[in-house]
Structure formats: structure tokens, C-alpha cells
């Protein structure tokens, strides 16, 4: 097993793009001193809309930029941030007075009749106009508005961290799709090379049979092997097309959009000595601290902490609802009544200013029970924080362990591929010299194709894992999102 410090050294130099990695460690090397990986060389915490001129030979940077700009999930997270930002302003607006104006115009009529006498009866009708201006200002509310602002701000913070989390997760998803497309394309090329080798061997057995040296059985076996590689090549080509369509969809583009990945993505991972030995039973102290920092600043955990703060603010809001409040109230009324059949005109001009003190006395214990429920939500939110800590720590440790194992497998397969190449060439020479058999040649041919395919699979699994670890270790600043 390769030591975790070796793994972090690989991650530090690979990061996002398939840049060449550091040199091979020496045999029986002691754990390499840990260096903090540099930050990712393109942002994952904001929308980036840098679309390349063409969608051919796309680098990983281009793919992630397009995805962060086009993906609906990323835009939805941005809209959620805008929604919570508006809610903060709504909560702050409650500190300001409210001023309301109203006006009405009406037509009225009144008929008065007195029974038992024939005088005094009259009718009154006319127009009435009224205008009112009212001021209402909550001066004191026992901290309810402050708790509401804290609740809105905590929700905004959670939305900001969730935006970062969505960007990171989508970047990982599109990077995985990118490496799958690269792997599928490399597999298709390897299958074409295998078909070419099989055809060459079939033609060789055909010539030997026609020369009276080989047998028809050898020729037929080679022909079957060649036809099988043709079928495999067609399958791999179809899978490469499907992988490119999946990548386009992950980027937020239509599946039929013609795209291609850069050929530099098909490089081999940096060689690692298969004889490397290091004690990987425990992580170095520096790596342990780096893992703890990455988990502590993980956006998912930061969002959970903000949710806990929001739950605590909600508890305070509920508690303050049953406390006294003081409100300033002021009114100004203007009214004009114009009777149509009389000379009297009534003008009303009134105002009032006062304080309104409300002291809740009894509400059937509703506030008490609501506060108890809110406290339970706070405790549950803290437990959620702890659970997320454990989940993200396990996920990062699992990826580092997978990176260690995959790096070792890649090193072993690198050696195995070289051996398979030598075995295949040797079998070719032996068969052409009449020493070896066709079965021996075809077995070496199949073994070489199998090793090459395994090497491709492990290589791109290694690249995808390196990307996930690089993203995880590119932690957020301790001060949080701005």
C-alpha cells in the first residue's frame, strides 16, 4: 500500500487538470513530508460563465466552467440565495414604522318620518369624503425582531454554503462524467488497436496455412479472435458515444451536442513504483490535521451549523412572542360631509397620538409547548451537525484509501502491461519461427488487450478520485462565505 502522505503528494500536483505528477518515490521510501496542496486553480464557489469558443478538445477546466454556468441545479441554488437575501431585508424592515393612508368617497341618503304628526318629516342626502393617515411603530418587542433577523441571516448563510456545496458536488459529478468519457474514448481506441493486432495475426496464420506450414484450425481460431475484437471495438465505440452524451447532459447541454474531450486527458497517470513500501496503518499527524480542517470547513457542515443557528433564533422568536411589546400609534383624520338639500356643511379634522402596551398573560400554555418543540429542533440540528461530520470524514477517508489502493493498482498494472507487451511480442516471434502455437499467440493477444483495458479503467478511476480529494481538501476559509 502507498502511504497517505504519498497520496497527498500526488493530489497536490495533479489537482484538477491532468498535469504531470511528481517523480517516483524511491524503493522502501519513508513517508514523504506532507505539503499543503494549493487551492484549486479555478473557482467552485461562484458562477463562472467562461464558455470556450468551441466544444472540441475540452479540458476539465472548460467542462466545469460550462457546467457551473449552464446547470439548472446551480442556478436554482443561486435563486435560493437571492430568496433568503430578500427575507433578511424583510426581517430588517420590521424595525421601521409603517405609514398607511386611506381615502373614501361615498353618496349617502337618509329619510326621516315621524308617526302621528304631519310635520318634521324630512329627507337628507349628500356626499361624504374622508381621508386618513395612520402611523404605527413598534418600539419594543422583547427581542422578537432581532431573533427574526438572526433567523433570516442564518438561513441566508445556510443557503450560501449550500450554493458552494451544489457547485462542488456538480463539479465532481461533471468531472466524473468527463473522466468516464475519456476512459470510454481510450477504451475505444484500445479496442481498435486490439482489432488491428488480431487482424494482423489472422493474416499471419492465413499466410502460414497457404504456405503449407500452418493449419486450418489455427487460421479459424485467429479469425474468430479477430471477429470478436471487431465486435468489442463496435461496443466500445458505442459506449464512448453514450459517455459523451452523458457528459454533455452533465454540463447542462443537450445530449446531442457534439463535444469531444482533450487528448491530453488520455495521458497515463504518473508512474508509481510497484515496489514502494510505507507504513500506511495510520495517517501522519499533518495529514490528520488537514483532514480535520477539510471536514470542519466542509460547506455541508457549515450549512448545518447555520441551520442550527436558525433553529436557535426561531426558538428565541417563539419565546419573545409571549413577552410585552410597546407600540407608538398616531392617526390623522380629515372628513367632509356635503348635504345636497341643506346649507350645513360638516368638516371633521381629528388626530390622535398614543402608546399601546401589550402584555400577554395566558395563552393556554401554547408558547411554552412551542418553545419546547423549538428547543428539540435545536438539539436535533446539533445531532445533524455531528452526523454530517462523521459522514464527510468517512467519505474523505474512504476516498483517500481508494486513492492509495488505486495508485498501487495503477503502478502494478503499468508493470503488468509492459510484461504483457513483451509476452505478446515473444509469442509473435515464436509463432512466426514455428516454435510457438497459435493458441499461445492468441492467449498472449487476449491477455494484452485485457491488461490494457484494466489499466485504462484504473487510470481514470484514479483521476476521478484525485479530483474528489483535491476538491475536499480545498477547504473554505474559516471566516465563512462572503
Using CA atoms, how far apart are residues 433 and 400, in angstroms rounded to an integer? 49
Q: Which residue in 314, 354, 284 sits closest to 139, CA to CA?
A: 354
Q: Band of the pLDDT at 28, cuts 50, 70, 90?
A: very low
C-alpha dihedral, 431 to 435 to 440 to 444, nearest 10°: -60
Higher pLDDT, 114 or 68: 68
**pTM for the predicted model, two decimal places:** 0.74
Higher pLDDT, 8 or 425: 425
pLDDT, tens only, 353-364: 999 999 999 888
Is pLDDT of 214 > 90? no
- Report the pLDDT value the prediction gives residue 42, as an integer from 0 to 100: 58
Using CA atoms, how far apart are residues 393 and 41, in angstroms rounded to an integer? 24
Using CA atoms, how far apart are residues 420 and 233, in angstroms rounded to an integer? 20
Higher pLDDT, 323 or 23: 323
Is pLDDT of 210 > 90? no
Angle between helices 72-93 and 144-210 (to 10 degrees): 180
Is pLDDT of 1 > 60? no
Are 205 and 167 in contact by the 8 Å Cβ rule? The answer is no
Average pLDDT score over residue span 465-472: 88
Q: Which of 37-51, 334-348, 386-400 has the lowest mean pLDDT?
A: 37-51
Grid cell locating 205: 496464420
- The kind and range of the H/E element at 230 are helix 216-250
**Sheet containing strand 122-140, strands side by side:** 98-112, 122-140, 325-339, 346-358
- Report the pLDDT value the prediction gives residue 287, as an integer from 0 to 100: 76
- Report the pLDDT value the prediction gives residue 146, as an integer from 0 to 100: 94
- Report the pLDDT value the prediction gives residue 2, as an integer from 0 to 100: 39
Residues paired with residue 132 on neighbouring β-strands, in sequence order: 102, 333
Mean pLDDT of the chain: 81
Using CA atoms, how far apart are residues 158 and 301, in angstroms rounded to an integer? 10
Q: Which residue in 302, 305, 295, 480 sits closest to 382, CA to CA?
A: 305
Q: Band of the pLDDT at 242, cuts 50, 70, 90?
A: very high
Average pLDDT score over residue span 409-423: 93
- Report the pLDDT value the prediction gives residue 91, as an integer from 0 to 100: 95
Average pLDDT score over residue span 221-234: 92
- Report the pLDDT value the prediction gives residue 43, as an integer from 0 to 100: 59
pLDDT, tens only, 152-179: 999 999 999 999 899 899 999 999 999 9
Is pLDDT of 365 > 60? yes
Q: Which residue in 135, 139, 133 sits closest to 95, CA to CA?
A: 139
C-alpha dist (Å) from residue 134 to 99, 241, 328: 6, 69, 11
Do you know the residue count of the chain? 482
Average pLDDT score over residue span 16-20: 31
Q: Which residue in 30, 42, 41, 38 sits closest to 6, CA to CA?
A: 30
**At a CB cut-off of 8 Å and minimum separation 6, what does 38 contact?**
12, 15
In the chain the first and final C-alpha atoms are separated, in Å, by: 41
Helices and strands (DSSP H and E) totals, the chain: 9, 4
Q: Maximum distance among all alpha carbons in the chain?
A: 146
Grid cell locating 359: 402584555
- Report the pLDDT value the prediction gives residue 6, as an integer from 0 to 100: 41
Using CA atoms, how far apart are residues 144 and 281, in angstroms rounded to an integer? 54
* 18-32, 133-147, 467-481, range with greatest mean pLDDT: 133-147
pLDDT, tens only, 133-148: 999 999 999 999 999 9
Q: Which of 10-24, 151-165, 417-431 has the lowest mean pLDDT?
A: 10-24
pLDDT, tens only, 247-299: 999 988 888 888 888 875 444 444 333 343 334 434 556 678 888 888 988 99
Q: Which residue in 226, 208, 211, 228 sits closest to 437, CA to CA?
A: 208
Using CA atoms, how far apart are residues 352 and 337, in angstroms rounded to an integer? 21
- Report the pLDDT value the prediction gives residue 342, as an integer from 0 to 100: 58
Calculate the CA 205 to chain-centre distance.
55
- Report the pLDDT value the prediction gives residue 231, as an integer from 0 to 100: 95
Show the 3-state SS of 136-176: EEEEECCCHHHHHHHHHHHHHHHHHHHHHHHHHHHHHHHHH
- Report the pLDDT value the prediction gives residue 41, as an integer from 0 to 100: 56
Q: Which residue in 229, 95, 87, 225 sits closest to 156, CA to CA?
A: 87
- The kind and range of the H/E element at 222 are helix 216-250
Are 234 and 220 in contact by the 8 Å Cβ rule? The answer is no
CATH architecture of 4-97+142-323+365-473: Up-down Bundle (1.20)
Q: Which residue in 206, 184, 203, 225 sits closest to 448, CA to CA?
A: 225
- Report the pLDDT value the prediction gives residue 99, as an integer from 0 to 100: 95
Using CA atoms, how far apart are residues 239 and 324, in angstroms rounded to an integer? 69
Using CA atoms, how far apart are residues 237 and 223, in angstroms rounded to an integer? 21
pLDDT, tens only, 93-104: 999 999 999 999
Q: Band of the pLDDT at 13, cuts 50, 70, 90?
A: very low
pLDDT, tens only, 31-49: 323 233 344 555 565 455 6
- The CB density around residue 284, as the number of other CB atoms within 10 Å, is 18
Using CA atoms, how far apart are residues 165 and 81, in angstroms rounded to an integer? 13
Q: Band of the pLDDT at 50, cuts 50, 70, 90?
A: low
- Report the pLDDT value the prediction gives residue 283, as an integer from 0 to 100: 55
Amino acid at each position: 500500500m502507498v502511504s497517505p502522505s504519498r497520496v497527498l503528494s500526488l493530489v497536490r500536483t495533479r489537482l484538477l487538470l491532468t498535469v504531470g505528477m511528481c517523480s517516483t518515490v524511491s524503493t522502501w521510501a519513508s513517508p514523504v513530508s506532507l505539503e499543503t496542496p494549493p487551492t484549486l486553480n479555478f473557482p467552485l464557489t461562484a458562477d463562472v460563465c467562461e464558455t470556450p469558443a468551441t466544444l472540441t478538445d475540452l479540458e476539465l477546466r472548460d467542462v466545469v466552467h460550462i457546467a457551473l454556468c449552464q446547470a439548472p441545479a446551480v442556478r436554482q441554488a443561486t435563486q435560493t440565495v437571492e430568496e433568503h437575501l430578500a427575507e433578511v431585508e424583510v426581517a430588517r424592515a420590521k424595525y421601521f414604522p409603517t405609514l398607511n393612508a386611506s381615502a373614501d368617497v361615498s353618496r349617502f341618503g337618509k329619510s326621516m318620518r315621524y308617526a302621528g304628526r304631519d310635520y318634521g318629516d324630512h329627507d337628507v342626502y349628500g356626499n361624504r369624503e374622508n381621508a386618513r393617515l395612520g402611523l404605527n411603530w413598534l418600539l419594543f418587542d422583547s427581542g422578537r425582531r432581532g431573533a427574526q433577523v438572526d433567523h433570516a441571516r442564518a438561513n441566508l448563510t445556510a443557503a450560501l454554503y449550500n450554493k458552494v456545496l451544489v457547485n462542488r458536488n456538480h463539479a465532481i459529478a461533471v468531472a466524473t462524467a468527463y473522466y468516464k468519457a475519456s476512459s470510454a474514448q481510450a477504451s475505444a481506441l484500445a479496442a481498435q488497436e486490439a482489432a488491428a493486432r488480431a487482424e494482423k495475426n489472422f493474416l499471419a496464420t492465413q499466410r502460414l496455412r497457404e504456405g503449407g506450414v500452418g493449419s486450418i484450425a489455427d487460421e479459424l481460431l485467429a479469425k474468430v479472435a479477430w471477429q470478436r475484437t471487431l465486435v468489442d471495438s463496435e461496443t466500445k465505440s458505442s459506449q464512448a458515444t453514450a459517455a459523451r452524451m452523458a457528459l454533455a447532459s452533465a454540463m447542462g447541454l443537450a445530449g446531442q451536442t457534439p463535444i469531444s474531450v482533450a487528448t491530453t486527458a488520455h495521458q497515463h497517470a504518473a508512474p508509481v513504483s510497484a515496489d514502494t513500501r510505507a507504513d500506511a496503518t495510520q495517517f501522519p499527524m499533518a495529514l490528520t490535521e488537514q483532514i480535520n480542517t477539510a471536514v470542519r470547513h466542509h460547506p455541508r457542515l457549515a450549512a448545518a451549523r447555520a441551520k442550527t443557528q436558525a433553529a436557535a433564533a426561531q426558538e428565541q422568536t417563539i419565546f419573545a412572542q409571549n413577552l410585552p411589546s410597546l407600540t407608538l400609534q398616531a392617526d390623522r383624520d380629515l372628513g367632509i360631509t356635503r348635504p345636497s338639500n341643506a346649507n350645513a356643511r360638516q368638516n371633521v379634522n381629528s388626530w390622535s397620538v398614543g402608546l399601546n402596551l401589550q402584555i400577554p398573560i395566558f395563552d393556554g400554555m401554547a408558547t411554552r409547548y412551542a418553545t419546547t418543540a423549538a428547543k428539540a429542533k435545536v438539539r436535533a440540528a446539533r445531532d445533524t451537525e455531528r452526523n454530517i461530520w462523521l459522514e464527510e470524514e468517512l467519505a474523505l477517508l474512504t476516498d483517500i484509501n481508494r486513492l492509495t489502493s488505486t495508485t498501487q493498482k495503477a503502478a502494478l498494472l503499468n508493470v503488468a502491461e509492459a510484461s504483457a507487451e513483451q509476452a505478446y511480442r515473444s509469442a509473435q516471434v515464436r509463432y512466426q519461427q514455428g516454435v510457438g502455437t497459435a493458441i499461445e499467440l492468441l492467449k498472449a493477444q487476449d491477455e494484452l488487450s485485457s491488461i490494457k483495458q484494466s489499466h485504462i479503467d484504473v487510470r481514470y478511476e484514479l483521476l476521478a478520485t484525485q479530483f474528489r480529494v483535491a476538491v475536499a481538501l480545498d477547504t473554505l476559509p474559516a471566516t465563512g462565505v462572503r
